Structures are given as C-alpha cells and as structure tokens.
Amino acid sequence: MRPSHLLIPTLAVALFAGGKTIFAQQYYGPPPFAYWQNNAEEAWEHRGFYDGMKGAERDFWNHRWPDVNNREEYRDPDSVPDWARHEYREGFRRGYYLRVQQIYDGGGPRYDDDDDDQ
C-alpha cells in the first residue's frame, strides 16, 4: 500500500471535520469603527493630551484658575475633525488635570538643572 492511499482519506476527513466548525462561529456584525480610524483616534487623543498639558501650564503662568472649561481649545477645537472631537477632548481633559496636579502638588516647572538640595 502506497502512502498516497492513506493521505487522501486523511485529508478528506480533516477537511470535513474543519468545515463543521465554520458554521458554529457566530457573526457579531461589523466593528464600530474602521480599522484605519482606530490609530487616527488614538493620535488625536494623544495630541489632545499634550495640548491639555500645555494649556494647564499657560493657565498657571497667566495666574488663571485651573479649569479645563476656560480653555478655548477644549471647548471648541476648530482644527480637529468632527469624528475625533470626543477623543481629543478626553485626552485634553486628562492631560490638563494631570499637569494641574503635577504643578500644584510640587511637580511643577523647574528652572534649575543642578540639584543643590542634595
């Protein structure tokens, strides 16, 4: 008996056994966003985060009360597309309040690079 006689029935059994599992999988519909858009949304969130940190520093240097709603970039981000405004604003808010916490809890801007305290 040649090995090819065993190969063909084994291959047929494997194909039929694998075919039944295809029907058992459930389809949940399309993803809520396009795959290319996921990276773009993350990029807008990162940009908002860093813009929020800069905005908090500007408020600190201009002696303004730290409130994210006082920032025009947060309230009406003109340069951000409509589909990315939510992500930008969430990133902005997180960056703003993280920087406010750093400034007021002692992690504010430093001007000296030498450590004279030690």
Per-residue pLDDT at 114:
47
Record the pTM.
0.58
Burial 19-36 (b: 16+ CB within 10 A, else e): eeeeeeeeeeeeeeeeee
DSSP classification of residue 83: G
Q: What is the pLDDT of residues 54-95, one digit of tens each?
A: 999 999 999 999 999 988 888 888 888 888 889 999 999 999
Q: What is the pLDDT of residues 22-46, one digit of tens each?
A: 555 555 555 555 555 667 788 889 9
Averaged pLDDT, 2-29? 64
> DSSP characters for 58-83?
HHHHTT----GGG-HHHH--TTS-GG
Cα–Cα distance, 70 to 78 (Å, whole number): 16
